[in-house]
Amino acid sequence: MAFSEFQLLSVLAQELNMRKAAERLFVSQPALSQRLQTIEKHWGTQLFLRTQKGLTITPSGELVIQFANEILDKEEKVREQINTLDSKIHGTLKIACATIVGQNWLPKVLKKFVQQYPHAKISLITGWSSEIMKSIYDDEVHIGIVRGSTDWKGPKLHLFEDPLYLVDKEIQEIGEVLHTDRPYIQFKSDSNYYQEIQDWWHREFQSSPKRTIVVDQIETCKQMAFNGIGYAILPAITLNDADVKNLYKIPLKDEHGQLLKRDTWMLGYDAAFELKQVQAFLDVVNEFVAMNPHVI
């Protein structure tokens, strides 16, 4: 496998280990070491310090590696543009997706995408919606899938909305929350989701929960509620019929008596939506939403 000096430097910077880098580049360790020496001679400076624990990037190395990564990124974008001229769908579809959607909704869509477009590649990262927005602003991904309200000015598609529920093994009505000693299990989330729940809670009860357990992941929160440790507020996307058959599921309502819901959006820049792999994914999403309007 042929590889460029830029790829070599990028992989070395990621691994900081000659053996692991050589394995990724499919070359021997001595050959890799010789190539690195040639590159350092070309730049007239040492790019990495060799230690017993591995490699350390020098200040000069940081500059050269940054340059190498910029070149690799530009090369990938040019390849994507070239692929748009081809009749087949090639290239990498880069998606940043809210974790909860990436776990519960996106796999169904990606399954259809890879079946229809086997030549396309997929790069997927998940996280909080605020992290997804940063990935889009930094041009690290083609499209982002976020939760909640958004003031995004570019292209965006509303995917679905799902209601919020209070779930518990004992509490059957919202008012019982005021009298129970069971803990409220809360998961860490984006500030807008947290604020939405806080606003509902104080509007409904004019007080704070008596006892609260805070966990770092929504899946942990869900499993603790399912095992009867306490009650939780969860979006419908995390719940299915098998999950809730032994639980009470009470819908949250706003001040007008309407179900409290969370919106999910797909968004990105105009240039990204012109790429063939993004257009193809958008077609699959639209088809999936049309055929499965109640699947979340």
115 and 177 inside one domain: no
Instruction: Give the pLDDT band (50/70/90) at residue 1.
Output: very low
pTM of structure: 0.68
151 and 76 inside one domain: no
Q: Residue 83: is its pLDDT beyond 80? A: no
Question: How large a percentage of the chain has pLDDT more than 70?
Answer: 94
140 and 185 inside one domain: no
296 in a structural domain = no
Q: Residue 75: is its pLDDT beyond 50? A: yes
200 in a structural domain = yes
225 in a structural domain = yes
Instruction: Give the pLDDT band (50/70/90) at residue 295.
Output: low
User: Residues with Cβ < 8 Å from 32, sequence gap 6 or more?
Assistant: 8, 18, 21, 22, 25
Question: How large is the average pLDDT for residues 122-150?
Answer: 92
Q: Is 211:183 a contact under the CB 8 Å cutoff?
A: yes
CA distances from 216 to 50, 128, 158, 187, 189 (A): 38, 12, 27, 6, 8
Question: How large is the average pLDDT for residues 5-14?
Answer: 93
48 in a structural domain = yes
Write the pLDDT tens digit of every residue in 267-279: 999 999 988 899 9
The domain that contains 15 carries what CATH number? 1.10.10.10
What span, in angstroms and rounded, lies between the C-alpha atoms of 94 and 270?
Answer: 15
167 and 30 inside one domain: no
The domain that contains 152 carries what CATH number? 3.40.190.10
121 and 99 inside one domain: yes
Q: Residue 2: is its pLDDT beyond 50? A: no
Write the pLDDT tens digit of every residue in 23-36: 999 899 999 999 99
Question: How large is the average pLDDT for residues 106-122?
Answer: 92
232 in a structural domain = yes
Q: Which domain holds residue 26?
A: 5-83
Last residue of a domain, one of 27, 50, 83: 83
Write the pLDDT tens digit of every residue in 194-208: 888 988 999 998 888
52 and 101 inside one domain: no
Q: Hey, is 273 helix, strand or coil?
A: helix
Per the structure, how many domains does the chain have?
3
Write the pLDDT tens digit of every residue in 155-181: 999 999 999 999 999 999 999 998 899
100 and 79 inside one domain: no
42 and 30 inside one domain: yes
97 and 233 inside one domain: no
146 in a structural domain = yes
Phi, psi dihedrals of residue 17, rounded to the nearest 5°: -155, 120
